[in-house]
Structure 1
């Protein structure tokens, strides 16, 4: 029997989560990968969600190639396909599937990439091994993952530290790893990549303007109490209604601070097969 995912996706696909996902582009979420792309490449984008990065790659970076977006939550692919249609991008397709057992033959893609996926899976090494399998010899496997231990903000507001502790405990209870960003280069080597074939680095998202702070604080205040994150925290016993509400209020208070600033660090890897 094919291996299936054993972890629960901590965020789910609540509207507050998708507001964050649909903000992502190739430029703000895959800049480390772009210099390695050529116009005719065939790409597999794993965990594509609503498809904004996927469609961006197809339209702007491999216009003579093709991008396939793969997503375990099939319902969100309706939005991804609609986006491609609205933008008139035809060199892209979307399929439902599990990254633990990819439905593609060996040596199929020039590039296999994922963004914010490995931190949420039960066996990140196994997923990277599958990504390596379907990549062509000489091709690229790339990943970018948050590291919640590298999330910093100003000023300190009551409830924000509670949110981070709650998130980390709940993510691990769901089967994920919130410190994935610092680990992915090691996971890649365990997946079969030679040490010299793995290049690692990091980059950040930073929210500092009034508009950015309002958007970032608002979506986290909502998803902390309204998304699958809240349900799994209660189900797992990693949080209580009171703690979730305190964390949500912390986000709201932080977002109202005149000098609010937030930076989120991400680990990145480029692996050559």
Structure 2
């Protein structure tokens, strides 16, 4: 890409304004469940539940809460506390929890770097696609460990944007990838586009011994029309629309580049041969 393309722009923080986000864009977030986003955690969660059905689980950076609600369904005698730094998402998260029939769940605002809980409070502390958006991943993991009970688990799954591959390899899709990568690295003062591959290193820096950590990998893949509509629709309605687009333009991203990206995503959604995959890194840390 030319030097003046989107990847070279220095964007300010671009957290999504949910009041300005089309409802159609929600599906990219609300399709996430414990089953399709935290499968690596579920066997260990079942073991904890077998030993003590009243599992206390904290979901950090819960967003719309679909993962939180489906985790709550798996521990009916336990309780899920879902926190997010953006209080504006809580009303929607409550609606999602109700739609799943999850009553053993509560929501509140909270920052992963300063969780509003005492030491040794939870049996499980979980986050999904959260560490990538901050600049102190090790500190965040230490804070998650702080509020975890001895013998409990910290679980994290993070995408590795730098591993993303797609077809067809059109110039517009390359620009869209570079733009998405830029949004990640600009978010929260400096996110990380290679989080998935660095999770184990961050976990070790946070203090646990290697024997306490179980790393794993999985893959996001978008190959079927419904999945492509959901993922591509998220890019069209969140990353390339509304106030995120406005801030990108103010930061110097060209309107014509953004329009080219939109057309590339639309073509990608419609093409039968279009696919996209991204590696996901995972860690389970036993405290």
TM-score normalised by the chain length of structure 2: 0.86
Shift of 1:265: 1.6
Please list, as runs of the form range in 1=range in 2, the aligned pairs for 1:1-273 lying within 5 A after superposition: 8=13, 10-13=15-18, 14-15=21-22, 17-38=25-46, 39=49, 40=53, 41-59=55-73, 61-174=74-187, 175-237=190-252, 239-273=253-287
In 1, Cα distance between equivalents of 2:242 and 2:113: 25
Give CA deviations for 1:137-171 in whole Å, capped at 9, x if unaligned: 11111100111111111222230111111222232
Shift of 1:214: 2.7
Q: How many residues align?
A: 265
Q: Is the 8 A contact 1:10 1:170 kept in 2?
A: no
Gap runs ≥5 in structure 1: 1-6
In 1, Cα distance between equivalents of 2:139 and 2:251: 25
Q: Is the 8 A contact 1:151 1:264 kept in 2?
A: yes
In 1, Cα distance between equivalents of 2:154 and 2:247: 31
Shift of 1:12: 4.8
Give CA deviations for 1:86-128 in whole Å, capped at 9, x if unaligned: 4332211111111111110000001001000000012111111
TM-score normalised by the chain length of structure 1: 0.90
Counterpart for residue 4 of structure 1: none
In 1, Cα distance between equivalents of 2:100 and 2:269: 33
Q: Is the 8 A contact 2:72 2:104 kept in 1?
A: yes
Q: Is the 8 A contact 1:157 1:254 kept in 2?
A: no
Q: Is the 8 A contact 1:168 1:178 kept in 2?
A: yes
Q: SS where residue 171 of structure 2 aligns? A: coil
Q: SS where residue 113 of structure 2 aligns? A: coil
In 2, Cα distance between equivalents of 1:265 and 1:91: 32
Q: Is the 8 A contact 1:222 1:248 kept in 2?
A: no
In 2, Cα distance between equivalents of 1:258 and 1:44: 40
In 1, Cα distance between equivalents of 2:202 and 2:250: 29
Give CA deviations for 1:44-72 in whole Å, capped at 9, x if unaligned: 0001111111010111x211111110011
Residue 232 to residue 178, structure 1, CA distance change in 2 (3 Å): farther
Shift of 1:230: 2.3
Gap runs ≥5 in structure 2: 1-11
Q: SS where residue 106 of structure 1 aligns? A: coil
Range with bigger deviation, 193-202 or 11-20: 11-20
